[in-house]
Amino acid sequence: MKKFKFLIAIFSLLITLGCSVKENRDGCPCRLFLDMTSLDMVDQSPFKLDIMSDDGFEYKAVLNVENFKDTCVVDVPRTGLDVMVWSGGGSFMDENGLTIPFGRDCPPVYIYSARLEADGESICDVVKLRKNYCLLSVSIEEPDAVISLTVRGGVSGFDKLGKPSGGEFSVFSDVAHESYPSITFCLPRQNEAPIYLDVTESDGRIRTFPLHDYIAEFGYDWSKPDLNDLNMILNFTPVGVTITIKSWEEELIIDVVI
């Protein structure tokens, strides 16, 4: 931290020398310092950095272990800024954010998003990546009763500011070709769009369950900075299905009569 403060002082001095106090300083840039010491440069890189301003300024960079260490410094205009750092998006990312192809799981994406006001000589912020995906593990008590599972919903990625974006999301799993006892789906952070679980039973019947209602009843919070993972157990009986949703500390049991 002492090293970081020393660097800020040095760069602020350079800015002051470059813009005389006697001249109009409105056109002088602000120096943005992004402290990235909390990031795992080995396991989480590469990082995609996007900086955008209200007046059209854009700065884009890819940071990895070869070209980056602890602090990123960028000269930015003195205006409002949206700062984004992405990790784990891979080939699903483009200039509009992250789009999950139909039939694919959400990638294990971590996002830092901040709205900053660059109104002085320099501004500093600490980058902390947040977990924006949920691993939903589904176990089937009687695997022979089920042919396949499909999770589908209305969030298919994230916009360029890291917010959930609308679109058709669907992931199919052939139970017979999965390693029992559980099948894992990776879901993006959700908004108000519904999520469904389609179960194709061994007799060919397809049953649809309102997964969003069950998750909400469990008390799951899609707005948490770091999303928790979920475990679900399906137990088929002659009269219905018992659905159990579990986390490390809580459990919800739902009986659905068919």
pLDDT tens-place string over residues 5-20:
444 444 444 434 444 4
Q: Which CATH code of 1.10.730, 2.60.40, 1.10.3470, 1.25.40 fits the domain covering 29-130?
A: 2.60.40
Local confidence band at 258 (pLDDT 50, 70, 90 cut-offs): low
Mean pLDDT of the chain: 85
Matching CATH topology for 29-130 and 133-257? yes
pLDDT tens figures, 188-224: 999 999 999 999 988 888 999 999 999 999 999 999 9
Q: Rounded distance, CA 26 to CA 121, Å?
A: 10
| Upper half-sphere CA count for residue 178 (Cβ side, 13 Å) | 20
d(CA 57, CA 47): 20
Q: Is the pLDDT of residue 83 over 50?
A: yes
**Three-state SS for 214?**
helix
pTM of the predicted model, to two decimals?
A: 0.85
Average of pLDDT values for 115-144? 92
Q: What is the pLDDT of residue 10?
A: 41
- Per-residue pLDDT at 55: 85
CATH of domain 133-257: 2.60.40
How confident is the model at residue 20, as a pLDDT? 40
Extents of the domains making up the chain: 29-130, 133-257
* Largest Cα–Cα separation, the chain: 85
